[in-house]
Structure 1
Amino acid sequence: MNTFTMAFTLPEQLSHDAARSTFYWTPKAVGSFTSPVGPSLGQFGPVRPANADLVRLAVLVYAADRSVTRRANGSSWSQRRLQLHIPVTDPDAWQASQAHWEALLGFLSGDAWSLAFHPAQLPTEAATYRYAGAHRVVLLSGGADSAVGALLSQHELGERRQLLFSHIGATNLAPRQREVATRIAALTGSRGLAHHQIRFSRKTTQPNGHRFPDERSTRTRSLLFLALGLAMASIEQVELHIPENGFASLNLPLGADQRGSVSTRTTHPYFLHELSRLATVTGAHAPISNPLSAMTKGEMFTRVRDLVGAKAASEFLSMTHSCGHTGHRSLGYPVLSHCGVCFGCLLRRASFRASHLTDHTSYLDTKDDPRLAAYLRDKSVAASLRGFLGRGLRTADLITLTLPDHYPLADAKSLIERGMHELETLSR
């Protein structure tokens, strides 16, 4: 069992055992994290206490996820057992739904989680807030789906303001997020579109030099993104949008060897529904919506084309980033290049074709570079995708979906079939 907890002050002498099991989150960012905010989120503003609790839960989940490697017995996707001791303002409220939180985290990451909650002795932080009057918070990752969601949201709001909220993982993505936000403002005629970026990451080492293990899959990172967005939304008591095409959100496995959480399930309708329900039970502000949940990615692209015209839509969508890999930077290629062969890239390419838009995306070219060719062969899901499309949608596939009660199975089946039809354009 891998056991972790969180503390808010750094001891003068940090022992090796404490460095292995405790993550230190201090108001001055002297500890285990790179963060512009303290554990009470005072730099965000007057965040509801239970929402700050949710962020601390998400931070500890993310840090533990990063710090325990999956590789074991020849497999790089081993299930891990993780135990967390989480500081919250009302332990009884969280403890009452402990088993449900553990199950939800298991659904998200595929691991076995054990949670315990204890009273938080939080440091004092001044609250400052810069976004008064926001009618909605929209998560903006820099990917095509979040960009489409933010564009359609601002068009719907008209003169009313929204806040675009970005979590910076790869620092190279930060300028792209700003460029996308600027283009949304131009396309919608929105003046002073608010955009808040935050870089929050676990450091590679503890203050005493202890080096963390580094697990790169981090299936739970988007939970932190959601929790931070909800914290910001709690200030004005507004809804949080996390835009993602419904086909990808269902996380349908491409083959029998891909059962379980191979990619993120953070926008899966069951996960969003349960997260909102459980967070609300603890007293957090948690109205979450995926406005694109009933649409394929091609249908989303078509909506943008119909709204701003084909040329503008092509330019706007091509500037976004959808690739799931960054390893090609070790071969000397820009990290924001698209590999072209991961599921995100293949779905992107199919969506441009399905919406009859020109794709200006820069995909990696293996010409005259055998190292890159070998790298892309290893990363490609094209064969799995062809097999999935060749055999068609089966009842066994639908059984794996774990839909919430309010989501009709017939709607999911129709959505998947439309998404598969778009992917088939890649072979034409």
Structure 2
Amino acid sequence: MFEFRLSVLPPSDPLPTDADTTFFWHSKHSMPYFHANVGPRLAEYGLVKSRNVDFVRIAAAVLAADRSASRSGSLSRWNQRDIALTIDVLAVSPWDGVKSDLERLLAFLTGDAWSLKFRREVGAPEQLGSAAAGATRAVLLSGGADSATGALLSALELSGRAEKQVLISSWASTNLRPLQTRVADEIERIAKGSTADHIKVRIARGRHSPSGVAYGRENSTRSRSLLFIALGLAVASVEGLSLWLPENGYASINPPLSKSRRGSLSTKTTHPKFIADLKRVLEAVGAHHDVVNPYAAATKGQMFSLVGDAIGRSGASTFLSSTSSCSHTGARSYGIAPDVACGVCFGCVLRKASFAASGLNDGTHYLEPANDRQRNWLEDKTVVPAMRDFLASPFGESDLARLQIPADIPLSEVAKLVQRGREELGHLVL
């Protein structure tokens, strides 16, 4: 069981004694047990819609619990966790009305059984600020190649109309923030005057609770991007902007490499079913929910080609090579620098294939093992054998049916998208 509270626990106050409950405290101030550079009412961004404030709290609590509840096993043997979570929100009744829908949404995202409870807690007053002034679009910028592509193409489109965008980045790892800043600066250099603001948010659970006991540690964290979307919608809600969530359609659908890689082993944060269900839940509670993936019908290789068409092949190669697609953490303990990609995870393999498919030079620094520890680490992490098996097998109607595509999206178009994605991967892997 987990509880997400807003009040900061003073050192003189007695700690909760419920041994079965893990507590998280959130305030604007960074603490050893919870880090944040924005308050729980999000006033620094302006008059954020109340339900979007709540949604950020819910997403932050879900991620904290997700990171603290360890899984066991591997592949299809990964266990389904039962996670009970109590969350402080501005108003309880709107969320009680969609509780079951939200629990099912989280189950689809993480593969777990969620039980949510809401408790009213407004939080201390915060000084009102402003963000995104003058922007006509909000764009999520993670530092990955897809988000960088979307942000760059959006900037070029808007600058042609003398309009601006606000970029929203979220970071927990200290290595990620400089990367996001460099990418945002390069976008502004290429499309000068296109950036109204670049908002960099940190909301992350620490390593130890106030009692000194270490939180649980789970690295799969399929809910990480939920907080990213929630923060983007919160910023977008101030001016009623559309939020771009750029992700190639093949990765969004994310066909599992094998039957044992379904469920929580497949990331689903930009899956069309997840986005559609999330928008319905947010609309029902009165939250801002204008989120769109403008590249839902494109492969990553096609997105890379669009960058080449927009700024030239040499510039596109340099720009895209400066982003990061590697999904693996913990490489530092193997003596691997943070700017070195593993080259064998799904993100890296898809990235390599996309550079090849678009005809752009890949300047990414991939790991060249220097010792047996690094070679063994790569061998343990690689998806290449599973991807070869996946590409060697036909992908038919029964496989399409398992992808849970919403009824308003023609399966014939999804089939074509999957085929294009498989062809791009096949040129590299087979």
- TM-score per shorter chain, which class? over 0.9
Partner of 2:270: 267
DSSP 3-state at the match of 1:261: helix
Contact kept, 8 Å, 2:76 with 2:262, in 1: the verdict is no
Partner of 1:386: 388
The answer to whether residue 259 in structure 2 is matched with residue 256 in structure 1 is yes
Alignment of 1:317-356 (within 5 A): 317-356=320-359
Separation in 2, partners of 1:164, 1:121: 27
Cα offset, 1:206, TM superposition = 1.6
Partner of 1:180: 183
Partner of 1:401: 403
Partner of 1:284: 287
Partner of 1:308: 311
Separation in 2, partners of 1:231, 1:92: 20
Contact kept, 8 Å, 1:20 with 1:210, in 2: the verdict is no
For residues 219-260 of structure 1, give each alpha carbon's deviation from its aligned partner in whole angstroms, at most 9, with x where no partner exists.
Answer: 101100110111110111101111000000002101111121
Letter in 1 for 2:274: F
Partner of 2:26: 25
Q: Mean alpha-carbon deviation: is it higher for 92-101 or for 255-264?
A: 255-264
For residues 357-383 of structure 1, give each alpha carbon's deviation from its aligned partner in whole angstroms, at most 9, with x where no partner exists.
Answer: 1111111112x4111111001000001
Cα offset, 1:169, TM superposition = 2.7
Contact kept, 8 Å, 1:70 with 1:80, in 2: the verdict is yes
Partner of 1:64: 65
Cα offset, 1:191, TM superposition = 5.4
Contact kept, 8 Å, 2:26 with 2:34, in 1: the verdict is yes
Cα offset, 1:17, TM superposition = 2.6
Q: Mean alpha-carbon deviation: is it higher for 308-317 or for 153-162?
A: 153-162
Cα offset, 1:275, TM superposition = 0.9
DSSP 3-state at the match of 2:170: strand
Contact kept, 8 Å, 1:326 with 1:335, in 2: the verdict is no
Q: 1:347 to 1:15 in 2, by over 3 A?
A: same
The percent identity for this pair of structures is: 44
Partner of 1:4: 3
DSSP 3-state at the match of 1:266: coil
For residues 332-356 of structure 1, give each alpha carbon's deviation from its aligned partner in whole angstroms, at most 9, with x where no partner exists.
Answer: 1112211010110000000001001
Q: Mean alpha-carbon deviation: is it higher for 330-339 or for 312-321?
A: 330-339
Partner of 1:219: 222
Q: 1:88 to 1:295 in 2, by over 3 A?
A: same
Aligned equivalent of 1:417, options 416, 419, 424: 419
Cα offset, 1:326, TM superposition = 2.3
Task: Give TM-score, length-normalised by structure 2.
Answer: 0.95
Contact kept, 8 Å, 2:76 with 2:261, in 1: the verdict is no
Number of residue pairs aligned between Structure 1 and Structure 2: 426
Unaligned runs of 5+ residues in structure 2 are none
Q: 1:76 to 1:20 in 2, by over 3 A?
A: farther
Separation in 1, partners of 2:292, 2:30: 32
Task: Give TM-score, length-normalised by structure 1.
Answer: 0.95
Q: Mean alpha-carbon deviation: is it higher for 102-111 or for 389-398?
A: 389-398
Contact kept, 8 Å, 1:85 with 1:117, in 2: the verdict is yes
Contact kept, 8 Å, 1:42 with 1:126, in 2: the verdict is yes
Q: 1:297 to 1:163 in 2, by over 3 A?
A: same
Q: Mean alpha-carbon deviation: is it higher for 190-199 or for 172-181?
A: 190-199
Separation in 2, partners of 1:3, 1:287: 30
Aligned equivalent of 1:190, options 184, 190, 193: 193
Letter in 1 for 2:51: A
Contact kept, 8 Å, 2:23 with 2:209, in 1: the verdict is no
Contact kept, 8 Å, 1:42 with 1:125, in 2: the verdict is yes
For residues 132-191 of structure 1, give each alpha carbon's deviation from its aligned partner in whole angstroms, at most 9, with x where no partner exists.
Answer: 111111000000000000011111212211011100132112111111111111222335
